[in-house]
Amino acid sequence: MTPTGHSAEPTTEPVVRVRDLKITFPTMDGDVHAVDGLSFEVAPGGALGIVGESGSGKSATSLALMGLHRGTKARITGEISVAGTDIVSASDARIRELRGNDIAMVFQDPMSSLHPQYTIGNQLIEAYRTHRPSASTAEARARAVEALERVGIPDPAKRINSYPHEFSGGMRQRVLIAMGLVCEPKVLLADEPTTALDVTVQAQILDLLEDLRQDLGMALILVSHDLAVVAGSVDEVLVMKKGKAVERGDVRTVLSEPEHPYTQALLAAVPRVEVSRAQRRAEIRADRAAREGGSAAAPQPTGASVRPEKQESTTPGEPLLKVENVRQRFKVRGGMFGKASDFYAVDDVSFELYRGETLGIVGESGSGKSTLSRMIMRLLQPTEGRILFEGRDITKLPERQLRPLRRDIQMIFQNPYSSLNPRLTIGDSIGTALKVQGEKDGKLIKKKVQELLERVGLEPSHYNRFPHAFSGGQRQRIAIARALILQPKLVICDEPVSALDVSTQDQVLRLLSELQDDFNLTLIFVAHDLAVVRQVSDRVAVMRKGRVVEMSDGDSVYEDPQHEYTRQLLAAAPVLDPDEAKAHRAERARLRAEAKKAAASEGTAA
């Protein structure tokens, strides 16, 4: 593998070598072969992307490279060599010495990787002195400040005294990268480092990893389920399925001419920002018609793409939902003795939504998307403004009067793992809504639940299973069934696919599209993924700092964005073409340089 941007000096010895790696976990149901005969190499300064769905063996491989399976029941065979050290046979002392100095890992969730009770500085200093015990505290602190500055933390000498909760998600991920870099390792292993991040923050982290690789000459192993994420950041890509490598090669070759059907399926599932709502809808309907043995014209044209005009012509001026100048204020403390100040999470937002229409709401974390969703659900009472549902003002309805409204407005939450009660069977979880609304016939409840389970792609026999027996995609299908059991008129989808693999995400989005046709659903779809929002939405609202900065039909927002913030979001969206991805990175670097120059000139003028 030839590292991009480095001199083409011949390097005979790879910094990472894996040969016929097998990882087996014993379970009560028999052995699970998490990794089965995996082999690859990474040259000094090179970059390898490891891609696959959940359960493909990516993370098990990453942990094995760090020697983190030691002390578990996992059985590991084969060769793992990192910087000349055999990870399988090396002593525990040698492995401890290796971690941080030769190979460092950046984990997916920075909040669970950083200790909430210690400052960022203390944790960086501890990491440095653990691997460099002869270093003084002052030297370790200076290295920590340097590492924070290198990863782009503003005012690092001051922020080193901050706690993790005082940083945003993107900043916390930068801190984890700084912790990995503090001892200048030869290999940086990044396991899904951008999965939980917004598109703009994701772009910043990927740009940072590329810059660090170029500056420090370290090797990078980037693990992800999203081919678009690795496209512009690696030289080679390795595609894994069920513990095996099904395809490996130059990133341009694999992405442009994939040979294995699994790789082709992964690429087909990646949402593309250039695909319009109409194109996506036509594709889903044609696939459904072919699957059901009909023609492409078989589904009736009841989709959201035509319903807004129909509604306006038959019931003009009567939207299903009307939001008027709503604001949501929260009190924010100003330190231990500081006076509390007002913070508006949603600030003067207005829109109308017609039956059968899908409104996409897109923006970064903190833009007010989820707060607005909870206001419409009346989980929060708006501080100002009005919300009208079917012409009725629901803004200040008391809780007792809200209960009948819950039948008509339902919500699908982001995390299917935390939104389902682990102590209840899925049949009970879905059927509880019917009981709350007054249904007492247990046999009728079970019949309705089983019919809906079948409709969302599960088996009626799954009724008595518990959530832990299902994959992430299946749990999200259960959450969708729970939202639809009451036959609501409006469903709010709050980041319903952001925690899912691209193939599972594609399945859930197809299901939502088909259910919208079948049940005449009206949707509000909240997400930070621009490509997903375009493919499901008739209209798109772009939110920033609590305000809607742009709203129009989906194609207009994407093809002719009017607001600078919308253009920034589109420029940060990951693309599958490595050359285009690098062009986007160069453009972002140019914009950052211009912003720094402008800020410096303003400071000089002042």
Q: In terms of domains, do 381 and 510 share one?
A: yes
The reply to whether 554 falls in a domain is: yes
| Whether residues 202 and 93 fall in one domain | yes
Angle at 366 between CA 365 and CA 370, to 5 degrees: 80
Statement to judge: residues 541 and 396 lie in one domain: yes
Same domain, 399 and 494: yes
Q: Which amino acid is at 41?
A: E
* DSSP helix/strand/coil, 208: helix
In a shared domain, residues 241 and 168 = no
Please name the residue that has the structure tokens 């920075």. 110
User: Same domain, yes or no, for 121 and 203?
Assistant: no
The CATH number that applies at residue 25 is 3.40.50.300
Let me know: does 396 contact 481? Beta carbons within 8 Å: no
Q: Are residues 288 and 377 in the same domain?
A: yes
Domain membership of residue 316 as a residue range: 277-408+486-566
pLDDT value, residue 338 = 59
Pair 398, 492 in one domain: yes
Q: For residue 250, tell me if it sits in a domain.
A: yes
Token code pair at residue 546: 């609590």
In a domain, 445, yes or no: no
Residue 348 lies in a domain: yes
Q: Which residues of the chain have pLDDT under 70?
A: 1-12, 196, 294-317, 332-339, 602-606
Per-residue pLDDT of 20-39, as tens digits, reads 999 999 887 788 899 999 99
Same-domain pairing of 320 and 395: yes
- C-alpha to C-alpha distances, 313 to 310, 317, 320, 335, 344, nearest whole angstrom: 5, 9, 14, 55, 37
Rounded CA-CA distance 275/264 in Å is 18
**Residue that finishes a domain, picked among 182, 210, 229:** 182
Do 90 and 145 sit in the same domain of this protein? no
Looking at 141, 165, 182, the residue that finishes a domain is 182
Distance of CA 521 to the CA centre of its chain: 25
The pLDDT score that the predictor gives to residue 274 is 83
Report the alpha-carbon distance of residue 414 to residue 418 in Å, rounded: 9
Distance of CA 481 to the CA centre of its chain: 22
On whether residue 121 sits in a domain, the answer given is yes
- The residue among 182, 212, 236 that closes a domain is 182
Residue at 70 is within a domain: yes
Classify residue 228: in a domain, yes or no.
yes
- pLDDT score recorded for residue 168: 72
Q: Which residues contact 115 (CB under 8 A, 6 or more apart)?
A: 123, 164
381 and 302 share one domain: yes
Shared-domain flag, residues 295 and 358: yes
Query: Chain centroid to CA 284: how far?
Result: 23
Report the pLDDT value the prediction gives residue 336, as an integer from 0 to 100. 53
Is position 491 within any domain? yes
- What is the number of domains present in the chain? 3
